[in-house]
Homo-oligomer: A and B are copies of this chain.
Amino acid sequence: MSRRPPFAEWLSQTNDVTRTFLAAGGMADVINLGGGLPEPSTYPAADLARLAHQAVEEHPEDSLNYAPIEGMTALRDLIAKRFSKGPLRVGRGNVLITTGGMQALDLLGKIFADPDSAIAAQSPTYLGALDAWRPRHPVYRPMRLNANDLDAEAALDGARFAYTVPNFSNPTGELVDVTTRRKLVEAARATGTPLVEDDPYGALFYDGPPLPRMLELDAENEGEGEGDYDGPVIYLGSLSKELAPGLRIGWVIAAPEVIGALVLAKQGTDLATSSLSQRIALDALEDGVIERNLPATLDTYRERRSALCAALEAHLSEWFTWEEPVGGMFVWITAKDPRIDTDRLLSAGLDCGVCISPGSVFDPEGTDRRSVRLNFTANPPEVLEKGVERLARAVRGLIA
């Protein structure tokens, strides 16, 4: 094009690191530890082929016509039922179906953020969330969640919303402890600030039982009322890790007033989520496909986590520290050697045939040069070890 008007302002601030990871995923001979993809062989393909056929054959109108903006009624009801337990009562009006978990982030930015409004965000922050909110021009208040000096009330007060990934945060793999969860819920209650609990990895606990969700902890505050959930927690779920990301099925559970605003935003965003995907998701949930499939997936990922951590111990312990995560998809390693600049390590790694995610992309200020996110779900143990060996070679080159 010879000339054109300017693009919107935010586009001059964007980075394309995610695209670099995705492109590296397709590069021959590059081991990609920088992505965040599941292992495709864990998807229950035979079940899904059957359910895809069944969806269109038995429910052609449901599967092929526009779904309601809010989502397919039966799917909303089923999710409401699955999440209602103990004092938590989730009704249809608490549930919105989204086009993957990512769409929920886009919609939240749309309904809550005006230019320069504050978002209190767990730090470091999921890169996709930063991408989703860039067009809204927010400012960030970073929260170090497990730090014992966290003042959650100060962080939330006056923010448009707070953003957290309590189960195995992307990027750090950190599990937010129950005390901190309670502290966040109390702060949301005290300040009125909506508290987003983004939970794409909640099914991926490898050691021990899941911790209670903040949505559940908050329901204890709702008392013995008769109504559906009406508190400040906004819970985001997804089938991308438990079933298959290609379906693009996620959901939001929140107070009905928030769901209403999200529906208005979704109306102008994609009108509705694929009805075929929704019908397949409904049938997969009713059919128990996830429950049958998940244990083998967890075994695969548990083994890979251990393999990655063993390789780190063998090849990188001289220069980095980390904690072995109890779930999720990532290990976060931090350089103890001041000569290691992790932005430079991205290109040094690519030269050695390994792709990583440098910490800077998860930092709204982009200043972190000491950390790296490594993914362990997308590669088998022997490839993970080879990738770490290559990374060690890149480190040696960098500090030589």
Residues on A close to B: CB < 8 A? 1-9, 11, 14, 16, 18-19, 22, 37-38, 40, 43, 45-46, 48-50, 52-53, 55-57, 60-61, 63-69, 99-100, 102-103, 105-106, 110-115, 117, 128, 131-136, 158-161, 192-194, 230-232, 240, 244-248, 255, 257-258, 261, 263-265, 267-277, 280
Pick from B4, B16, B131: contact of A194, CB below 8 A: B4
10 sample A-B contacts, Cβ–Cβ < 8 Å, listed by A number: A3-B192, A11-B264, A19-B69, A48-B60, A49-B57, A99-B274, A106-B270, A128-B271, A132-B269, A274-B277
State in angstroms the CA–CA spacing of A192 and B69 once bound together.
36
Check A245/B45 contact, CB under 8 A, given A1-B232, A52-B276, A158-B5: no
Chain B residue, CB-CB nearest to A10: B110
Residues of B within 8 A of A11 (CB): 111, 261, 264-265
Q: Contact check, B65 vs A246: say whether CB atoms are below 8 A apart.
A: yes
Check A269/B268 contact, CB under 8 A, given A65-B37, A263-B19: no
Question: What number of copies of this chain does the assembly contain?
Answer: 2
State in angstroms the CA–CA spacing of A244 and B136 once bound together.
33
Chain B residue, CB-CB nearest to A248: B274
Q: Contact check, A276 vs B64: say whether CB atoms are below 8 A apart.
A: no
Residues of B within 8 A of A65 (CB): 37-38, 40, 43, 244-246
Residues of B within 8 A of A106 (CB): 268-270
Known: A48-B56, A247-B274, A248-B273. 20 other contacts (CB 8 A): A4-B193, A4-B257, A7-B111, A14-B264, A22-B69, A43-B60, A52-B52, A64-B246, A66-B245, A100-B271, A102-B269, A102-B270, A102-B271, A103-B269, A110-B135, A115-B115, A128-B271, A134-B268, A269-B269, A276-B277
Residues of B within 8 A of A134 (CB): 268
Chain B residue, CB-CB nearest to A135: B110
State in angstroms the CA–CA spacing of A270 and B103 once bound together.
5
Q: Contact check, A268 vs B60: say whether CB atoms are below 8 A apart.
A: no
Chain B residue, CB-CB nearest to A101: B271
Residues of B within 8 A of A274 (CB): 99, 246-248, 274, 276-277
State in angstroms the CA–CA spacing of A248 and B128 once bound together.
22
Q: Contact check, A246 vs B275: say whether CB atoms are below 8 A apart.
A: yes
State in angstroms the CA–CA spacing of A245 and B63 once bound together.
9
State in angstroms the CA–CA spacing of A55 and B106 once bound together.
29
Q: Contact check, B159 vs A5: say whether CB atoms are below 8 A apart.
A: yes
